[in-house]
Structure 1
Amino acid sequence: MEVFLANINHIESISVLFDRYRIFYNQPSNLEAAKKFLKERFQNNDSVIFAANDNGELVGFTQLYPSFSSVSMKRIWILNDLYVEESYRRKGIAKLLMSVAEKYAQESGAIRVILATQISNITAQKLYEARDYIKNEEFYHYALPLQ
């Protein structure tokens, strides 16, 4: 298993995984929109995507978005997306993707990696807690829907 930093040349394969990721979160499949969205991320350098390759087949990815902490005046990375094909789950690929993402964040001088997951996603919560992510109970997170 190889994990590498994806680029726009991997858009076709990454888009398929990204579409399946969205389906996992109960969104309708829309491969063309997924491809357009990711193409914009690559062109604008809005995110960093790591992909897991098993003998030429992409089987998982994680996407990080940059942010900053004004208080510490340091970079933060938001681990926004993590997906592994169902037939490849429970084989350590998510851990490997996270490890590479965490190393990348550390090497970039970031102060932390943050993430969120659905309350019902117990499997993901166990993975994050096993990797020493701390559930933040000091802050409430709010969102303002605009559409």
Structure 2
Amino acid sequence: MIRKATLQDLDQLTNLFDQYVVFYKKPSDYEKHREYLKERMENNEATIFIASDDANPDKIIGFALIYVTFSSLALNKILILNDLFVDASIRKKGIGEKLILKTVEFAKELGSNVIRLRTAKSNTVAQGLYNKMGFVREDYLYSYDLTVN
């Protein structure tokens, strides 16, 4: 089952989020990650969809964290699918697809026709899913980051 996360889901969600961050070679920091997610939820700065196990509906097994922003080129809202993660023990069962489909449904509700995401070049499993779901890798524009200290 896929549904929107609430503050009651915060502890389980943080556990998965922490695994996600570690997957991308960042340090585990449960309290920092919990506070980050809590702020996003309390301030309505992100939408988080969670997947639960059909056999155990109280157990969260995956999430999609989405930010809504705007694109000057599209002249419309766009969704940034910033984080997508499924517990390693339950992958390859269509959970990631379901989370993406829920994100597509959400985009349609908002009148957005673009969902954007980034993933590591080495994350070929996720790339396979994104290709399967119809995402097109952008070759026209480059992505740049500037770290400000």
Give the structure-1-normalised TM-score.
Answer: 0.96
For residues 7 and 79 of structure 1, the distance between their equivalents in structure 2, rounded to whole angstroms, comes to 18
Residue 89 of structure 1 corresponds to which residue in structure 2? 91
Residue 114 of structure 2 corresponds to which residue in structure 1? 112
Which of residues 64, 68, 72 in structure 1 aligns to 2:66? 64
For residues 39 and 88 of structure 2, the distance between their equivalents in structure 1, rounded to whole angstroms, comes to 27
For residues 41 and 15 of structure 1, the distance between their equivalents in structure 2, rounded to whole angstroms, comes to 12
Shift, 1:29, TM fit: 1.1
Q: How far does the alpha carbon of each residue in 1:106-136 deviate from its partner, in whole angstroms, 9 at most, with x for none?
A: 1110120000101111111111011111111
Residue 24 of structure 1 corresponds to which residue in structure 2? 23
Aligned positions of 1:1-147 closer than 5 A: 2-54=1-53, 55=56, 56-147=58-149
For residues 102 and 34 of structure 1, the distance between their equivalents in structure 2, rounded to whole angstroms, comes to 26
Shift, 1:13, TM fit: 1.1
Give 1:116's aligned amino acid.
Answer: R
Shift, 1:9, TM fit: 2.0
SS in 2 for 1:141: coil
Give 1:109's aligned amino acid.
Answer: G
For residues 132 and 93 of structure 2, the distance between their equivalents in structure 1, rounded to whole angstroms, comes to 15
Unpaired stretches in structure 1, ≥5 consecutive residues: none
Give 1:33's aligned amino acid.
Answer: K
Shift, 1:78, TM fit: 0.2
Shift, 1:73, TM fit: 2.3
For residues 25 and 3 of structure 1, the distance between their equivalents in structure 2, rounded to whole angstroms, comes to 24
Unpaired stretches in structure 2, ≥5 consecutive residues: none
For residues 69 and 18 of structure 2, the distance between their equivalents in structure 1, rounded to whole angstroms, comes to 24
How large is the Cα RMSD of the aligned pairs? 0.9
SS in 1 for 2:61: strand
Q: How far does the alpha carbon of each residue in 1:65-84 deviate from its partner, in whole angstroms, 9 at most, with x for none?
A: 11101233211000000011
Shift, 1:102, TM fit: 1.1
Q: How far does the alpha carbon of each residue in 1:31-65 deviate from its partner, in whole angstroms, 9 at most, with x for none?
A: 10111000110111110000001112100101001
What is the aligned length? 146
